[in-house]
Chain A
Amino acid sequence: MDSILFIQLLNGLQLGILLFLLSAGLTLTFGIMDFVNLAHGSFYMLGAFFCASLTLATGSFWLGALLALPLTAIAGFVVEKLVIQHLYRRDHLEHVLATFGLILCIDTLTHLYWGPEGIAVPLPAVLNGQIELFEGVVFPTFRLLIIGTGCIVALGLYLLVNHTRVGMLIRAGASNRTMVSALGIDIKALFSAVFALGATLAGVAGMLIAPITEASIGMGNDIIITTFVVIIIGGIGSMKGAFLAALLIGMIDTIGRSFLDDFFKVLMSSEAAETAAPAVSAMLIYILMAIVLAVRPQGLFPPSSR
């Protein structure tokens, strides 16, 4: 039981890392540009598709992922220039409406270009196996890679945000937008860069999940709501909040899926438990969000000043 608990914690960690990659970009665009981007998940999907088709074309996952990175960034940049840029000054409702339109467009274009099937991503043999971490605990190598990559990205973002000039602007933008633009900073360029960065991070998440599930249409829409839950719980605009909340959600979701039915079986008949457990474990993160919002509307770890 101890080893399975440990494995589930690792699984939760891996899911959390993935959610962090997605929510980092979302919380940046939300915190700095005050922009609600429902289409954020589309970059997750694009990253997966770019990586998948390039992997098949080049025969190497590493090369595919490496080439997919700039492509996703360019996609983010183009979308920002074409549509998003013109929306910053509108209200949240219009953001939601326009980015929903974007989702429909990007999904359909993906369908037209890659077909409806979805693409499986072959992994090099090194990554396709398992590693025995210690006695009795065997874990898929690739999932460890996800955890590792996520930690490196998190560290990189930490350094970027806290120790560079761009990071300073990002922090300043998150806490006081008006002031940054008043200081004569080229806010347009900053916004474009931040948006493209966010899109790339989402793309990385897509590249990492594609070899586990596959690149498929609509995969971004499946996860975007969970990502919103993460940034709301973490506190909008807060990178630290996004990180901790992503791990929290990843853990809660995984632990709920693993142990809730056993737990319910103690309380009720096993038949009722089988019905209730999947429903409740699906609800868990929403319940958590509602509680957090009701008790602490600014989120658990809001940026220092808003």
Chain B
Amino acid sequence: MRWFSIVLLLILAIVPPVAFITGHAFWMDLFTRLVVLAIAAVALNLILGYGGLVSFGHAAYLGLGAYAVGIPVYHATYGGFDSIASYNGFVHLGIAIAVSAVYALVTGAISLRTRGVNFIMITMAFGQMIFYAIVSLETYGGDDGLTIDVRSEFPGINLDNPLALYGLCYGSLVLVLYLVYRISNSRFGLTLQGARSNEERMRAIGVDCYRYRLTAYVISGVICGYAGFLLGNFTTFISPEMMDWTRSGEIMFMVILGGATYLCGPVIGALVFILLEHLLSEITVYWHLPFGLLLIASVLFLRGGLAGALSNPPWFRKDRSSALASDTSTAASGTATKAPTRADDDV
């Protein structure tokens, strides 16, 4: 798995710039989107894979991050709201992170009181609320979205250059992966994983799981908001559609498809998801059919996602089917992911 991850990151480092230089700008676009969504998926995996918290509302952060670019640029271009009107990338970044953190703190504090499916639904509910809130902001285009006329300005780096933008996104991905790796192996990360597998035991040894979870939730939200900041700069167009529940679902699928609890799982998931989506839609407008079949097949036949299959190929695996009763009762106790937890050799 370790070697595979390194190869994967090398491919992501080399292929898109080469494609761009040889005149395939579209592939560069595709990979930029892929890398940005991979960051969001890695962020989600921090709480989903390691924390067992299935957030169905993570697209909200993508939207918040993107609007943190769009709204200041809008005011800098068309006037009004001088306090936030700016083209400065650091201002955008600051707003994106601050807003995501506050939103994560508030919604997390409430959501984390619930468990399992209820947690899925309450995070979705908050996502929908922010979706409709943005829809009602007519100044910023409401339902129709907002075109970002000018990308965030940073000294020494011009994001209008697709190579530079990709470099920033790719660098961010590597950094975020490293961050999540460090977190998952820190005392904090291990406590979080402990709380996932056995909350009572953690409580018995005096750990306040709620606080650990909330912290992880906020970190995850901030990283995802940062991905939104990149996404806004990449697409130069943002709409509430970005934060719809189906988008939250897509990020979730990338995580599960790739393999939750594997550090690089979400990256694999994003890669396969985006490439499949693109290639199948090239072939037919009815690409949803083969895509849907593949999704079902991946769930039926790949346990632990693609990363799980890579490190533990299905043809070597013994059939681990156990009694229905014992299995369903674990499922009922929460939405603990059943993939193995081996953070140490996942890199």
Asked if chains A and B are in direct contact (CB within 8 A), the reply is yes
Q: How far apart are B323's CB and chain A's nearest CB, in angstroms?
A: 9
| Docked pose: A287 CA to B129 CA in angstroms | 7
B54 at the interface (CB under 8 A from A): yes
Question: Quick check: B292 and A101 within 8 Å, CB to CB?
Answer: yes
Tell me which residues across on chain A come within 8 A of B135, comparing CB atoms. 279, 282
Q: CB-CB contacts of A225-257 with B at 8 A, as 1s and 0s?
A: 100110010001000000000000000000000
A187 at the interface (CB under 8 A from B): yes
Q: How far apart are A257's CB and chain B's nearest CB, in angstroms?
A: 13
Tell me which residues across on chain A come within 8 A of B329, comparing CB atoms. 177-178
Q: Which residue of B lies closest to A109 (CB)?
A: B289
| Docked pose: A297 CA to B294 CA in angstroms | 35
Q: How far apart are A271's CB and chain B's nearest CB, in angstroms?
A: 10
Tell me which residues across on chain B come within 8 A of A30, comparing CB atoms. 117
Instruction: Name, among B117, B125, B260, B329, the residue most crowded by chain A CB atoms within 10 Å (CB to CB).
Output: B125
Tell me which residues across on chain A come within 8 A of B115, comparing CB atoms. 297
Segment from B28-36, B82-90, B209-217, B251-259 that makes contact with A: B251-259
| Docked pose: A177 CA to B327 CA in angstroms | 11
Tell me which residues across on chain B come within 8 A of A190, comparing CB atoms. none
B157 at the interface (CB under 8 A from A): no
Segment from A119-127, A134-142, A161-169, A288-296 that makes contact with B: A288-296
Chain B contacts with A in 155-213, Cβ cutoff 8 A: none
Tell me which residues across on chain B come within 8 A of A104, comparing CB atoms. 288-289, 291-292, 295
Q: How far apart are A117's CB and chain B's nearest CB, in angstroms?
A: 16
Q: CB-CB contacts of B103-143 with A at 8 A, as 1s and 0s?
A: 00000001101111110111011101100110110100000
Given contact pairs A92-B335, A278-B136, A97 touches B292 in the complex (Cβ within 8 A): no
Segment from A46-54, A83-91, A207-215 that makes contact with B: A83-91
Tell me which residues across on chain A come within 8 A of B332, comparing CB atoms. 34, 177
| Docked pose: A228 CA to B122 CA in angstroms | 11
Question: Quick check: B132 and A87 within 8 Å, CB to CB?
Answer: no
B300 at the interface (CB under 8 A from A): yes
B283 at the interface (CB under 8 A from A): no
Query: What is the number of residues of chain B that contact chain A, defined by CB distance less than 8 Å?
Result: 54
| Docked pose: A25 CA to B288 CA in angstroms | 26
Tell me which residues across on chain A come within 8 A of B286, comparing CB atoms. 108, 111-112
B245 at the interface (CB under 8 A from A): yes
Question: Quick check: A297 and B328 within 8 Å, CB to CB?
Answer: no
B21 at the interface (CB under 8 A from A): no
Tell me which residues across on chain A come within 8 A of B337, comparing CB atoms. 91, 93
B293 at the interface (CB under 8 A from A): yes
| Docked pose: A91 CA to B120 CA in angstroms | 13
Given contact pairs A89-B327, A293-B122, A94 touches B256 in the complex (Cβ within 8 A): yes
Question: Quick check: A178 and B325 within 8 Å, CB to CB?
Answer: yes
Given contact pairs A87-B299, A105-B293, A34 touches B121 in the complex (Cβ within 8 A): no
Chain B contacts with A in 309-346, Cβ cutoff 8 A: 321, 324-325, 327-329, 331-332, 335-338
Q: Which residue of A lies closest to B120 (CB)?
A: A92
A98 at the interface (CB under 8 A from B): yes
Given contact pairs A105-B293, A286-B128, A92 touches B117 in the complex (Cβ within 8 A): yes
Q: Which residue of B lies closest to A293 (CB)?
A: B122
Question: Quick check: B121 and A289 within 8 Å, CB to CB?
Answer: yes
| Docked pose: A35 CA to B288 CA in angstroms | 23
Given contact pairs A228-B121, A229-B121, A290-B126, A101 touches B296 in the complex (Cβ within 8 A): yes
Question: Quick check: A283 and B129 within 8 Å, CB to CB?
Answer: yes
Q: How far apart are B302's CB and chain A's nearest CB, in angstroms?
A: 10
A36 at the interface (CB under 8 A from B): yes
Question: Quick check: B117 and A181 within 8 Å, CB to CB?
Answer: no
Chain B residues proximal to chain A, CB less than 8 Å:
48, 54, 110-111, 113-118, 120-122, 124-126, 128-129, 132-133, 135-136, 138, 245, 249, 252-253, 256-257, 260, 286, 288-289, 291-296, 298-300, 321, 324-325, 327-329, 331-332, 335-338
Q: Other CB < 8 Å A-B pairs besides A101-B294, A279-B135, 11 of them?
A: A34-B331, A87-B300, A91-B337, A101-B295, A101-B296, A102-B296, A103-B292, A178-B328, A232-B117, A283-B129, A297-B115
5 residue pairs, one from A and one from B, having the closest CB atoms: A101-B295, A279-B136, A104-B292, A105-B292, A108-B289
For this complex, 29 residue pairs linking A to B, each with C-beta atoms less than 8 Å apart, are: A34-B332, A36-B117, A86-B300, A88-B328, A91-B337, A92-B54, A92-B116, A92-B335, A93-B335, A97-B298, A98-B295, A100-B253, A101-B291, A101-B295, A105-B288, A107-B288, A108-B286, A177-B328, A181-B324, A182-B325, A275-B136, A276-B136, A286-B125, A287-B125, A290-B129, A297-B113, A297-B114, A297-B115, A297-B118
Chain A residues proximal to chain B, CB less than 8 Å:
30, 34, 36, 83, 86-94, 96-98, 100-105, 107-109, 111-112, 177-178, 181-182, 187, 225, 228-229, 232, 236, 275-276, 278-280, 282-283, 286-287, 289-290, 293-294, 297
